[in-house]
């Protein structure tokens, strides 16, 4: 079935609410713009994304270590990093009826796109959320919720090299919440105000930045296509022109995805040079140089940084996976999620509510639970209806326990994409599923 990309967005938004992936934050009080809660399947999908990133960026490598730094950091950090001055968007407010606020670079002309009223002059708006630590609300107690995790890696750089055996080139990776007071959150969870960043600062010898920049561009695209199963034809590189680079960057490439609203940034890969270590060294008056044991030289390493949010990957995976087809003359909605990320990898479905079938089905759930994300699905209704529900969640395999199972100790594996069914002995089920799921190493 051919769907327009706009239709896909509307359908994915409706499906994610209906099937328990995403809810607006504090919905019973009217919601909070730019904030979302994740329901049972949504948080499982997010966790799968996070785990796969960590597995491939840290655990499967011997040159990257992890870090967890705080969400609140003192203003001295953001002053040094340049965020207090440079992490700003130009803001214009409607002076007419609607009083809506716009990012100046997203409106053309002098009229409000909503009500046609006049717009005020652009002024700079800092995107960081500020709060205070302790009982006094004065300058000295000002702190900011981090808009990126990266600064944690820079301010802890000396601690990491002094307490571990890392040697340049090496990376420090971190996953965790980041906060940005976006002027125009939107496109569902594409741009939100609270999100989870996954960033890695890869420290290299000065002048070796170009080769590592090229390496990480390719490596990250490989991860999206091979591990997450995103369609390669919907990904492309976008190299930022010099005038649009962030204040710390020498070169930045975005990995873009073809969203229903156009090509948009999925992940950014930036060459941050030694900008951050240099400014922190200067402001903190601490020596942040690295003594290279191979060359005996002392220098500030340069940094290549791949950075992406869980939410951007989440919306990308859902849009990429959404499909409609016809099965047995009936239309079907199916999420063709890669088994690596599917919130439920295997659903075990007894054909009826007969006790003998339920007992075997529950045994199978117990048997598979240690290896896969398994759901037991005994909700009433025709088996076809239960398959459709699992199709919408994106479950790649359903195991059906039927009356023959009681005689032949075999079950049916129903494949989501082809809807084909194969009969497998219960004893061989784990091995067969491992084969068809081809999970990450
Ligand atoms: N440390 C570099 C950095 O923060 P960025 O391009 O501003 O760079 C990195 O953000 C990534 O974070 C983006 O590529 C995108 O995946 C994600 N991201 C940025 N702003 C976001 C927002 N408001 N909502 C969801 N994800 C966001």
Report whether 278 contacts 264 (CB < 8 A): no
Which helix (H) or strand (E) segment holds residue 412: the answer is: strand 410-415
Ligand 1 atom, smallest distance to 267 CA = 14
Compute the distance between CA of residue 423 and CA of residue 46 in angstroms, rounded to an integer: 32
Residue nearest to atom 11 of ligand 1 (CA): 308
Which helix (H) or strand (E) segment holds residue 214: the answer is: helix 209-222
CB of 312 closer than 6 angstroms to any ligand 1 atom: yes
pLDDT digits (tens, 9 = 90+) for 336-390: 999 999 999 999 999 999 999 999 999 999 999 999 999 999 877 789 999 999 9
Compute the distance between CA of residue 224 and CA of residue 232 in angstroms, rounded to an integer: 8
Report whether 398 contacts 436 (CB < 8 A): no
143 pairs with which residues across the strands?
A: 74, 131
pLDDT digits (tens, 9 = 90+) for 201-249: 999 999 999 999 999 999 999 999 999 999 999 999 999 999 989 888 9
CB of 309 closer than 6 angstroms to any ligand 1 atom: yes
Q: What is the mean pLDDT of the chain?
A: 95
Report whether 192 contacts 185 (CB < 8 A): yes
Ligand 1 atom, smallest distance to 182 CA = 23
CB of 197 closer than 6 angstroms to any ligand 1 atom: yes
Q: How confident is the model at residue 305 (pLDDT cuts 50, 70, 90)?
A: very high
User: What's the confidence (pLDDT) of residue 6?
Assistant: 77
pLDDT digits (tens, 9 = 90+) for 56-105: 999 999 999 999 999 999 999 999 999 999 999 889 999 999 999 999 98
Q: How confident is the model at residue 440 (pLDDT cuts 50, 70, 90)?
A: very low
Number of H helices, E strands in the chain: 13, 24
Decide if pLDDT at 177 tops 50: yes
Residue nearest to atom 16 of ligand 1 (CA): 308
User: What's the confidence (pLDDT) of residue 247?
Assistant: 87
CB of 311 closer than 6 angstroms to any ligand 1 atom: yes
Helices marked H in 252-410 — which ranges? 275-284, 310-321, 355-369, 383-393, 405-408
DSSP-derived 3-state class of residue 96? coil
Mutate to test the pocket of ligand 1, among 33, 240, 245, 268 (most ligand atoms within 8 A of CB): 268
CB of 180 closer than 6 angstroms to any ligand 1 atom: yes
Which helix (H) or strand (E) segment holds residue 72: the answer is: strand 72-74
CB of 209 closer than 6 angstroms to any ligand 1 atom: no
C-alpha 117 to ligand 1 mean position (Å): 32
Find the range with the poorest average confidence among 17-26, 100-109, 412-421: 100-109
Report whether 417 contacts 334 (CB < 8 A): yes
Query: For residue 312, what are the CA distances in angstroms to 31, 126, 266, 319?
Result: 21, 22, 6, 11
pLDDT digits (tens, 9 = 90+) for 178-201: 999 999 899 999 999 999 999 999
Q: How confident is the model at residue 1 (pLDDT cuts 50, 70, 90)?
A: low
What percent of the chain is predicted at pLDDT more than 90? 89
Nearest CA-CA partner of 317 in 335, 295, 294: 335
Mutate to test the pocket of ligand 1, among 49, 195, 199 (most ligand atoms within 8 A of CB): 195
pLDDT digits (tens, 9 = 90+) for 42-59: 999 999 999 999 999 999
Decide if pLDDT at 439 tops 70: no
Residue nearest to atom 15 of ligand 1 (CA): 308
C-alpha 231 to ligand 1 mean position (Å): 21
CB of 192 closer than 6 angstroms to any ligand 1 atom: yes
CB of 142 closer than 6 angstroms to any ligand 1 atom: no
Q: Averaged over 17-45, what is the pLDDT?
A: 96
E strands, 248-316, in order: 251-259, 262-273, 290-291, 298-299, 302-309
- Chain length of the chain: 441
Return left, alpha or beta for 82; rule: phi > 0 is left, psi -120 to 50 is alpha, else beta.
left
């Amino acid at each position: 079935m051919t769907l327009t990309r706009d239709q896909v967005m509307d359908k994915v938004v409706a499906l994610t609410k209906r099937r328990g992936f995403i809810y607006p934050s504090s919905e019973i009080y009217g919601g909070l713009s730019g904030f979302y809660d994740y329901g049972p399947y949504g948080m499982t999908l997010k966790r799968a994304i996070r785990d796969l990133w960590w597995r491939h960026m840290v655990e499967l490598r011997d040159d990257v270590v992890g870090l967890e730094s705080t969400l609140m950091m003192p203003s001295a950090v953001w002053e040094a990093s340049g965020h207090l001055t440079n992490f700003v968007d130009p803001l214009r407010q409607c002076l007419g009826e609607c009083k809506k606020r716009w990012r100046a670079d997203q409106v053309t002309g002098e009229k409000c796109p909503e009500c046609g009223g006049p717009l005020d002059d652009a002024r700079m708006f800092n995107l960081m959320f500020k709060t205070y630590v302790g009982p006094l609300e004065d300058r000295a107690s000002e702190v900011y919720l981090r808009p990126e995790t990266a600064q944690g890696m820079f301010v802890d750089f000396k601690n990491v090299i002094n307490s571990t055996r890392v040697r340049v080139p090496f990376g420090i990776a971190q996953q965790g919440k980041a906060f940005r007071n976006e002027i125009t959150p939107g496109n569902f969870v594409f741009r939100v105000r609270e999100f989870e960043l996954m960033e890695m600062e890869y420290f290299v010898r000065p002048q070796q930045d170009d080769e590592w920049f090229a390496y990480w561009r390719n490596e990250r695209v490989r991860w999206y296509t091979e591990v997450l199963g995103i369609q390669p034809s919907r990904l492309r590189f976008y190299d930022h022109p010099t005038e649009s680079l962030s204040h710390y960057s020498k070169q930045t490439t975005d990995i873009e995805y073809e969203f229903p609203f156009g090509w948009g940034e999925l992940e950014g890969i930036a060459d941050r040079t030694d900008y951050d270590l240099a400014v922190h060294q200067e402001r903190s008056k601490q020596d942040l140089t690295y003594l290279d044991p191979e060359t005996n030289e002392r220098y500030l390493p340069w940094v290549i940084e791949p950075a992406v949010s869980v939410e951007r990957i989440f919306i990308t995976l859902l849009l990429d996976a959404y499909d409609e087809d016809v099965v047995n003359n009936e239309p079907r909605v199916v999420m063709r999620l890669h088994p690596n990320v599917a919130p439920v990898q295997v659903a075990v479905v007894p054909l009826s509510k007969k006790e003998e079938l339920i007992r075997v089905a529950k045994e199978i759930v117990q048997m598979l639970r240690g290896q896969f994300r398994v759901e037991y699905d005994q909700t009433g209704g025709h088996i076809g209806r239960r398959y459709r529900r699992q199709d919408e969640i994106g479950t790649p395999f359903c195991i059906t326990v039927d009356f023959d199972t009681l005689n032949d100790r075999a079950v049916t594996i129903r494949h989501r994409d082809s809807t084909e069914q194969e009969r497998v002995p219960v004893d061989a089920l784990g091995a067969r599923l491992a084969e068809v799921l081809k999970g990450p190493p």
